[in-house]
Amino acid sequence: KYKHEETVATASFAATYLVLNNIRDAEYVCKYILEGGDKQDFLKRFKGAYSEGFDPDSNLESIGMANQTTMMKDETMLIGKLFERTMIRKYGPDKIKEHFLTSNTICDAT
């Protein structure tokens, strides 16, 4: 939820970001990472949810994941696994640390 106050605060620490609302968004992004796609369609779909100058063709080569209480813990964990597997498929298991980073910021209350 890119306009939620916690999300805005977290995003303010990142130079480049893309905020996802749910697993469907994550699946779309993963497909884009693996297969490419129409850049303008991507930017239109996520309008307002990414940092100024965000370029999916270059900024999705390496991704990190942070979570706020705006998403349920189970869904967050599923999305993390999806992105990890996507980056392994694209770059190989020996390169995962160069292309995917996650941090346990998940609140157990969610």
Cα 88 to its chain centre, rounded Å, is 15
DSSP of 49-80, one letter per residue? SB-TT--HHHHTSSEEE---TTS-HHHHHHHH
Is 84 part of the annotated catalytic residue set? Answer: no
Q: Which of 6, 52, 61, 75 is catalytic?
A: 6
The answer to whether 89 and 81 have CB atoms below 8 angstroms apart is no
Write out the catalytic residue numbers: 6
